[in-house]
Amino acid sequence: MLNAERIREDFPILKRKVYGKPLVYLDNAATTQKPRQVIQATNDYYETYNSNVHRAVHRLSQEATAAYDEAHEKVAGFIGAECMEEVVFTKNTTESINLVASSLSQQLQKGDEIVLTQMEHHSNIVPWQQAAKRTGAKLRFLEIDGNGELKLQHNSATSGMCNRTSSDLQLRQTIGKKTKIVAFTHVSNVLGTINPAKEIIAAAKEIGAVTVVDAAQSVPHMPVNVKELGCDFLAFSAHKMLGPTGVGVLYGKRELLEGMEPFLYGGDMISEVSLEGAKWNELPWKFEAGTPNMAGAVGLTAAVDYLQKVGMENVWEHEILLTKLALKRLQEIEGVAVYGPKDAAKRSGLVAFNLNGAHPHDVSAFLDAAGIAVRGGHHCAMPLARLLGTAGSTRASFYLYNTTQEIEKFAEALGKIAAKLKKPAQTAESWAKSDNRL
Ligand code: 7TS
């Protein structure tokens, strides 16, 4: 069990006030705040050993190189990768997915299929749309039900096959012989749904498809081990896990990364260049062209250290506690429609909702006036918003430094806003029943 009050001491920004009220920061799915340890590590880098990496022999460059390489080692250990060669640093999750989509698309042909889900962030849709356009491949989507979960558990009565679970069958209706890539979000940034990653990956493996996991909303919040998942690629962002902006991670199985073409070309990603051509550097540098974000990498090391000291099991347990409380309080407010699984065990630490037909931006603005930071809008998942029949939603998302008192404050403020708004609401129940709209 973690001590959120103690943890808050490490986050200078959490002491500030907004409009004279204590800040309640519940926009962690967008980006997280940084502890002093991360800020300090970044400062130390600039104040004492700032230098370019993998280039000069001078002392500063040696120190910067060691710290930059150590960041890869640290991340490899954090996610259970075999070695640092499997950890490529990018700018963010978006760039990590673009890298995979761009490199893998060179192996796609007309008629091949790429399977995504209906709950993807734009970062895990648009790169694949472009890959499909370039190659003639087709996109297919694992569908979601009215509860905001993938439709994997249905039709058990109709399966009629031995040694096959019903979910196996549902997966196999979409993931088939033509599927070359299965790319899906581990946790939805809108619904909070935790997808059955192992099951999806196993189904993809069976037909030899490559798997790409968008872990932007899972790695920061729960223990994630790439070997246990069995995925080929996994992407996430440092800024969503207490680290600096401008650093993303792409995990890739060594043999797959070795067989892929680079994404960007230039300095540091080569081993040899002549006027006629070039040879690529070894992993992971082959995919890290140009001067990287050294200070960001050092900050990421500090962020991983911080999370490991707290313990990812504890982070996760704390978020479940906050989510359960938030769900309970929101359901007590008349006119609130919460999206995603009702069962807190099936979801991560965020809650998206609508209130009395009010625009999410208005709800967010009301909450902002009370010092409560949430996000309103489509959350970069427009296809999902459309499926839900909404223009968007208001989303409160939690992290290790949030407290139960903050959830109470948030619910209390929302209760007051609800009382002001009179229009008839679309309730969670009516939404859940409208499965045919999905
Ligand atoms: N995938 C998921 C599931 C995400 O939630 C996000 C960011 C990304 C990819 C992209 O991450 P980036 O670091 O490359 O931007 N999601 C959000 C959000 O929900 N609100 O702001 C950013």
Residues 80-106 as b or e (16 or more Cβ within 10 Å = b): ebeebbbbbbbbbbbbbbbbbbbbbbe
In ligand 1, the atom with minimum distance to the C-alpha of 188 is: 3
Per-residue pLDDT, 391: 87
Per-residue pLDDT, 430: 55
CA 280 to ligand 1 centroid distance, Å: 30
**pTM beyond 0.85, yes or no:** yes
In the chain, the number of structural domains is 2
- Domain end marker among 250, 285, 308: 308
Per-residue pLDDT, 343: 87
Give me the amino acid identity at 308. Q
Helix (H) or strand (E) holding 113: strand 113-117
Per-residue pLDDT, 301: 98
- 121 ligand 1 Cβ < 6 A: yes
Per-residue pLDDT, 165: 52
- 217 ligand 1 Cβ < 6 A: yes
- Enclosing domain of residue 73: 41-308
In ligand 1, the atom with minimum distance to the C-alpha of 395 is: 19
Per-residue pLDDT, 160: 40
Could you tell me if residue 381 is inside a domain? yes
Give 231's Cβ-side CA count (13 Å radius): 29
- Domain end marker among 308, 336, 357: 308
Q: Are residues 315 and 344 in the same domain?
A: yes
Q: Where are the alpha helices (DSSP H) in 276-420?
A: 294-310, 312-331, 360-369, 382-387, 404-420
CA 128 to ligand 1 centroid distance, Å: 16
CATH number of the CATH domain containing 61: 3.40.640.10
Nearest C-alpha to atom 20 of ligand 1 is from which residue? Answer: 30
Give me the amino acid identity at 132. A
Per-residue pLDDT, 420: 85
Could you tell me if residue 35 is inside a domain? no
* Contact present, 327 and 352 (Cβ < 8 Å): no
Per-residue pLDDT, 433: 54
Could you tell me if residue 370 is inside a domain? yes
Q: Are residues 208 and 122 in the same domain?
A: yes
Instruction: Give backbone dihedrals phi and psi of 46, rounded to 5 degrees, phi first.
Output: -70, -35
- 126 ligand 1 Cβ < 6 A: no
Give 82's Cβ-side CA count (13 Å radius): 13
- 237 ligand 1 Cβ < 6 A: yes
Per-residue pLDDT, 155: 43
- Domain end marker among 308, 338, 360: 308
Nearest C-alpha to atom 18 of ligand 1 is from which residue? Answer: 30
In ligand 1, the atom with minimum distance to the C-alpha of 237 is: 13
How distant, in Å, are the alpha carbons of 172, 317, 331, 397 from that of 16? 51, 27, 30, 19
Pocket test for ligand 1, best of 123, 185, 347 (most atoms within 8 A of CB): 123
How distant, in Å, are the alpha carbons of 49, 234, 236, 281, 392 from that of 103? 34, 15, 18, 16, 33
* Contact present, 186 and 217 (Cβ < 8 Å): yes
* Positions of the chain with pLDDT lower than 50, given as ranges: 154-164, 166, 423, 431-432, 434-438
CATH number of the CATH domain containing 325: 3.90.1150.10
* Catalytic annotation present for 231: no
Q: Are residues 317 and 384 in the same domain?
A: yes
